[in-house]
Structure 1
Amino acid sequence: MENEQKEKIEKFLHSKGILKELRRVAAAGRKSLVITFERLLEFDMGLAKHLLDSPSDFFNTAGLLLEGITKIPGLRLRVAGLDKSTVVHNVHAEHVGKFIQVEGILTRSSEVKPEVTEAVFRCRRCGEENRILQVGDLFREPLICENPNCGGKNAFDFVVESTAFRDWQSLCLQEPPETLRGGRMPRRLDCIVRDDFVDKAVPGNHVVITGVLRVVREGRRHERKKTFRKILFVSHNEVLQKGVEEAELTPDDNAKIKELAKDPWIRNKIIQSIAPSIYGYEAIKEAIALQLFGSESVDLFDGTRIRGDIHVLLTGDPGTAKSQLLKWAANAAPRGLYTSGPKASGVGLTAATVRDELSGSWSLEAGAMVIADGGLAAIDELDKMDPKESNALLEALEQQTVSVAKAGIVATLNTRTALLAGANPKHGRWEPNLNFSEQINIDPVLLSRFDIFFVVRDVPTPDGDRAVAEHIANLHISRKLPTRPPMSTDFLRKVIIYSRKNLDPKLSKEAAKVATDFFVEWRGNAKSQGNPVPIAIRQYEGIIRLAKANARMGLSDRVTVEDANRAITLIKRSLQEAGVDVETGKHDIDILMTGKSKSQHDKVKRIYEIIKELEGEHGGAAPIDEVKRITGEEGISSSFVNQT
């Protein structure tokens, strides 16, 4: 049987097409010949089955034959493209020793290390060089000299210059967020890749990997545990350019969605289908819907990029369903991930270098924003995140990349992700007499990266309280909504996929004029001396993003005046809640950009002027009591002076 399979492999490798490709491989100096499984199947079905059932025998035989044909040592045959992929959580004991294909997101990659394939040792006694083929995981050394006239024992020098090495790298594959429903934890699978397929992918890449599943004993060698660890030894690794747009829709799905596009109330129906079990919050639900649909990023001629993803921040009183909204959005998104700031994995929200379990060296591991690349990241309690994450998150939100330079690893990972974040007020409940940035423990520079802000208040009103209470009671009694939402979450997800896959709405001149007129009009209010700047260019860019997302939500390829007006309404509401100086009642974008309103900046400036004047009068330090007396006469409180 073995000879029969060997003859089939040899015949396959000597076929006309393969020999032609081998010549190309040799000319290019490559170490691998890549074939598709379909090609092997067409040549001989039995040989293809032999690969699946006995991959080690198949590849060992193919490797020896390839070396004989090409005279290139270490030339490998790699097989790509099995008929179907196995998800990580379905890789079980039955797959051990088999050739399988697994699809997922790469979350960790180690540095590339040299691995010995054939070691050379020089006998200290006679100088004879002994060659030891390195098979398995442990380094093998000679016990006795191969020279029959010597017989020296345990007296050898390792000859690095004559030893054969190959590149080695460990990877970690994780189930993609879009396959996780119902709160199931993602499973991981360790992988090992060698030779010219190292560094083919970086953390955050969506990959499909073929390889041989093997096991190694867990724990230390002397413990002799009965359980083993699964490791996929990679044959082929392909990076997929796969966002939510690549998900497959059936012809029936496409027909239903095209029919839906004719409905003039499509936007309202989508908004009503957002988190239907949560009562009210129409504006927040509209913002979440726009996040899910998103807009295309714009790559400019000079290499810069304008992001298309929309970032939303929810804050306010406890018990107002903020976390539930985040969890619903992460579950409904075609690719969504939910995590909590203080409970994020050891690598945090972006990326970090960690110790690799297989090699013991430093490796690069992706955080939540990288794993959710191309989708939505819902991060709760953003105000409690590690302060060290703040700078990395700045880059992740605006530039949509994360740069890592640590422990000899330098890399840039993609974070093309819409962020829906939740945060709690510093003082437990929202204080209407304090400015937005004073109540939330988030760096103002980070706050400025968000497009929309919502403050969720728990204000008692008899009618509102009764409506919410009856809504919740009905959920407990009948376990269903009093009125059915226009779309199921599954169908809404398909609409989002269709829209993102097929539509890139173009901004009409009329819509652009509406957005520009609004921006210029609001900015014009700042011309009067002493007035704060109410809106910045970032909010204008936000209007464009929201308008494009509105068009996508309406399944349209053109941004209309209506889309622009809806975007402006959301921005105005957001600035009313987060960008108004409570002291003056005026819109002031400095609250979000710098953390202080213009009136506060003016007070600080006046305090410094008074201190400088008093220093001149007293020939040195200004008396604090005198500073407080003068500032008090000008309406500046002692507490503000102390803070300054």
Structure 2
Amino acid sequence: MNSPANRELTESFIAFYRDYYRSEIGTLAQHYPKEQRSLTIDYTDLHNFDTELAEEWTSKPSQYQEYVEEGLRLFDLPADVKLSRAHVRLTNLPDEDTYYPGQQSPRDQSGDYITVEGQVSKATEVYGVVQEAAFECQRCGTMSYIEQSSNVGDFQEPHECQGCERQGPFQIDFDQSEIIDGQKLRIEEPPEIAQGQNPSHVDVYVEDDLVEVVEPGDKATVSGILHLRQQSSNNQKTAKFSTYLEGQAIELKDTEFEDIDLTPEDIEEIHDVVEDPETDIFELGVDSIAPSHEGDEDVKLGIFLQQLSGVRAELPDGTFRRGDTHILLIGDPSTGKSTLMDAAERIAPRAVSVSGHGASASGLTAAAVRDDFNDSGQWTLEAGALVHGHKGLACIDELDKIKPDAVKSMHKALEQQRIPISKAGINTTLPAETAVLAAANPKYSRWNRNQEDHEQIEMESALISRFGLIFKFTDQPDAEHDSMVADTILISKDTAKRYNSDSHTVTEEELDEVEPALSVEFLRKYIAYARSNYNPVFRDESVRKKMRDAYVTLRSANGYDENSAIPISTRKLEDVLRLAEASARARLSNVIEEQDVERAQKEIGDSLRQFGTNADGDLDVDVIESGTSMTQKERRDNLIDLIRELQPDEGSLMVGKLCDVAEEEFGLDKRTVKDEVKDLADNGDLWRPGGAGTVRAFR
């Protein structure tokens, strides 16, 4: 450090500070060490001052970090100010030194100072890192002080005591050692870059004032030194080396769609398409979602509006109203649910996908877990799909098969769009402003036309009620419809084969039949632009009253008799408002017009007619919000009364006998009776003293 060359480099950094960062160093000196411990340097400033110095720092960062921090310590400061442990952090590297996880080359960038862009997926608890270790000789009591490296697995101990000149033994004295905070992070490719694939990642070790700067789900750029670490197998060293980053600087990225590059030409094209009087942007949107899937225009419109989203609004009391609409596709196999979900995922500027089959809370929302990510075996905060999809879309297949702990964690995530974590000393709340598009199957894989739909759903009603749009898919033979579906499948594949073949030709008309009306690239830019620039409000009082009056009218659709089913609750009013806001955004408007209200009401109406009515065909809010309908409540009451009538004074009633009498008196089939008895027993309304084949009602 004292060679002429080293002194020259240190002087160069001191001169740089004088020219560019005198004021910032003064501020650091005033607030060091409690409020501020780092000076942040912009690479562009250093490059403008001395190009070679900037490039040398990024190619030899471990060496140059000493010079740059020595220059800070030697900078002209008041005598009582010592920046002995202050850090200098280099940010804003050029594009050629900036990578997504997995793009960096262990061969070419090892030892270099680089920047990694991505999303935080995991973060450990804070742990202690010894900067200078104090060792006490157990023979003579002499203290030895040894500086420690930040490199993982590189802990230095004394070789010989400076007092008695013996080789220990030594014991570390934590009271006299210098200890700072440390944390390990995992940075993954963001969803819009991974695009449904397993995201690449890089682990990052940060210390001191970089600890707890980010949380799982945050998007960030992390700059630091890329190191190699040898891997082992069965306690044997191998020739493989993994990479990790010694984090030196972190910058949070706040922009919703920072990875969508919009040029003035893009914006002009978006306005041209939307404002073209010869076309309808809603028809174009519907025709652009899974064109190879025949029909289901109402579902496609719902997905189109979901992508554009309503407006998230914070109220004066600190509460908020979400803007995202959640959609559930539920029904028979091979009806196109997955095709529609795949199309939505491709279109969304930001999207994640996950299978609900066996998914835990950590996979869907977030959780504190113990795993091998934390080198010391402590707890790790791990983000799930809803956190990764923040400000975007999460596609969840097989929602009916998720684990109970995940169901419970999703309730608040879908409504509050915040995920609180309080476990093992980790107390935080992660953002999850994510729209959910989910698919599920009925209880027995296919719909049973002899049962009410809601009786065939093996999901908690509290979860189902979070979905603003629920669409029912049925596989019912119909010659005309089946012919159209078959034509769409056969023609689309045949056209694709001929289009990609040198020996066949395809006409423009044939291409128009299978190509989306708007390209995926255009849709992603259009959605990002609309969501970032338009926050519509009601045009005037008349539009707001139109929405209000329609809600009041629908609430009274079944009359006001106390035994009548209640058609809808205020949840549906909020769903209509969200879709109306999305409709206005689709038109690139900051004003909600009557057409937006009508479009939203029709979409909600289409959904309710598919899944929101009872056996009498009446709208019934309990179908969605409590998992039962007025009709089912009456049936269960009748069954309980019948059990009380048939059961002996002591002992139990055989379920087989109950089925026979219920079929004769109420026309109920055996499967329905057995299902109802099971559900009532599970809920504690009945008991089974002799096992599953018996039943008894409470008097």
Shared fold per TM-score greater than 0.5: yes
Distance 1:313 1:221 in 2: 46
Q: By how many angstroms is 1:46 displaced?
A: 1.1
How does 1:12-51 map onto structure 2 within 5 Å? Answer: 12-13=16-17, 15=18, 17-28=20-31, 29=33, 30-51=36-57
Residue 159 of structure 1 aligns with which residue?
Answer: 173
How does 1:311-350 map onto structure 2 within 5 Å? Answer: 311-342=326-357, 344=359, 347-350=362-365
2:359–2:406 CA contact under 8 A, matched in 1 = no
Q: 2:87 aligns with which of 67, 76, 82?
A: 76
Distance 1:564 1:187 in 2: 43
Residue 474 of structure 1 aligns with which residue?
Answer: 491
Shifted more, 289-298 versus 594-603: the winner is 594-603
Q: By how many angstroms is 1:549 displaced?
A: 0.8
Distance 1:450 1:222 in 2: 50
Q: By how many angstroms is 1:487 displaced?
A: 1.2
Shifted more, 484-493 versus 346-355: the winner is 346-355
Distance 1:604 1:457, change over 3 A: closer
Distance 1:458 1:232 in 2: 52
Q: Which amino acid aligns with 1:597?
A: S
1:169–1:192 CA contact under 8 A, matched in 2 = yes
Residue 603 of structure 2 aligns with which residue?
Answer: 570
Q: Which amino acid aligns with 1:534?
A: P
Q: By how many angstroms is 1:401 displaced?
A: 0.9
Residue 308 of structure 1 aligns with which residue?
Answer: 323
Residue 443 of structure 2 aligns with which residue?
Answer: 426
Q: 2:390 aligns with which of 360, 373, 377?
A: 373
Q: By how many angstroms is 1:424 displaced?
A: 1.1
Residue 625 of structure 2 aligns with which residue?
Answer: 593
Distance 2:642 2:443 in 1: 31
2:358–2:401 CA contact under 8 A, matched in 1 = no
Residue 259 of structure 1 aligns with which residue?
Answer: 272
What residue ranges of structure 1 are gaps of 5+ in the alignment?
none
1:529-574 per-residue CA deviation (whole Å, 9 max, x = no partner) reads 4210111110111011111111111222211111111111111111
Distance 2:649 2:343 in 1: 64
How does 1:42-61 map onto structure 2 within 5 Å? Answer: 42-61=48-67
Distance 1:140 1:621 in 2: 76
1:245–1:500 CA contact under 8 A, matched in 2 = no
How does 1:528-547 map onto structure 2 within 5 Å? Answer: 528-547=561-580
What residue ranges of structure 2 are gaps of 5+ in the alignment?
76-80, 500-510, 681-699
Shifted more, 309-318 versus 517-526: the winner is 517-526
TM-score by length of 2: 0.86
1:88–1:103 CA contact under 8 A, matched in 2 = yes
Provide the secondary structure at the position in 1 that maps to 2:205: strand
Distance 1:346 1:536 in 2: 29
Distance 1:126 1:338 in 2: 63
Q: Which amino acid aligns with 2:119?
A: I
Residue 223 of structure 1 aligns with which residue?
Answer: 236
1:390–1:446 CA contact under 8 A, matched in 2 = yes
1:511–1:563 CA contact under 8 A, matched in 2 = no
Provide the secondary structure at the position in 2 that maps to 1:517: helix
2:184–2:374 CA contact under 8 A, matched in 1 = no
Q: Which amino acid aligns with 2:378?
A: S
Taking only aligned residues, the RMSD between alpha carbons, in angstroms, comes to 2.4
Residue 383 of structure 1 aligns with which residue?
Answer: 400
Distance 1:174 1:629, change over 3 A: closer
Q: By how many angstroms is 1:360 displaced?
A: 2.9
Provide the secondary structure at the position in 2 that maps to 1:90: coil
Residue 138 of structure 1 aligns with which residue?
Answer: 154
Residue 192 of structure 1 aligns with which residue?
Answer: 205
Distance 1:435 1:627 in 2: 21
Q: 1:65 aligns with which of 59, 67, 71?
A: 71
1:104–1:208 CA contact under 8 A, matched in 2 = yes
How does 1:497-508 map onto structure 2 within 5 Å? Answer: 497-508=528-539
Distance 1:621 1:529, change over 3 A: farther
Distance 2:626 2:587 in 1: 36
Q: By how many angstroms is 1:2 displaced?
A: 4.7
1:104-125 per-residue CA deviation (whole Å, 9 max, x = no partner) reads 1111111111101111112233
Q: By how many angstroms is 1:585 displaced?
A: 2.2
Residue 558 of structure 1 aligns with which residue?
Answer: 591
Distance 1:283 1:245 in 2: 31
Provide the secondary structure at the position in 2 that maps to 1:342: coil
Distance 1:220 1:120, change over 3 A: farther
Q: By how many angstroms is 1:292 displaced?
A: 0.5
Q: By how many angstroms is 1:180 displaced?
A: 2.7
Distance 1:597 1:73, change over 3 A: same
Shifted more, 343-352 versus 37-46: the winner is 343-352
Distance 1:221 1:607 in 2: 63
Distance 2:431 2:524 in 1: 23
1:175-224 per-residue CA deviation (whole Å, 9 max, x = no partner) reads 1111134x533100100111111100110011111111111111269522
Distance 2:236 2:419 in 1: 41
Residue 109 of structure 1 aligns with which residue?
Answer: 123
Distance 1:111 1:623, change over 3 A: closer
Q: By how many angstroms is 1:278 displaced?
A: 1.8
Q: Which amino acid aligns with 2:146?
A: I
1:345–1:367 CA contact under 8 A, matched in 2 = no
Q: By how many angstroms is 1:604 displaced?
A: 3.3
1:386-438 per-residue CA deviation (whole Å, 9 max, x = no partner) reads 11100111111000011112222122111100000010122121223322222
Shifted more, 453-462 versus 215-224: the winner is 215-224
Residue 78 of structure 2 aligns with which residue?
Answer: none
2:205–2:245 CA contact under 8 A, matched in 1 = yes
Residue 686 of structure 2 aligns with which residue?
Answer: none
Q: Which amino acid aligns with 1:205?
A: D
Q: 1:488 aligns with which of 507, 513, 519?
A: 519
TM-score by length of 1: 0.93
Q: By how many angstroms is 1:613 displaced?
A: 8.5
Q: Which amino acid aligns with 2:83?
A: I
Residue 238 of structure 1 aligns with which residue?
Answer: 251
Distance 1:302 1:620, change over 3 A: farther
Provide the secondary structure at the position in 2 that maps to 1:326: helix
Residue 100 of structure 1 aligns with which residue?
Answer: 114
Residue 88 of structure 1 aligns with which residue?
Answer: 101
1:612–1:622 CA contact under 8 A, matched in 2 = no
Residue 298 of structure 2 aligns with which residue?
Answer: 283
Q: Which amino acid aligns with 1:492?
A: L
Distance 1:628 1:359, change over 3 A: closer
Distance 1:249 1:427 in 2: 47
Aligned residue pairs total 637
Residue 642 of structure 1 aligns with which residue?
Answer: 677
Q: By how many angstroms is 1:16 displaced?
A: 5.1
Q: By how many angstroms is 1:622 displaced?
A: 8.5
Fraction of identical pairs, as percent: 34
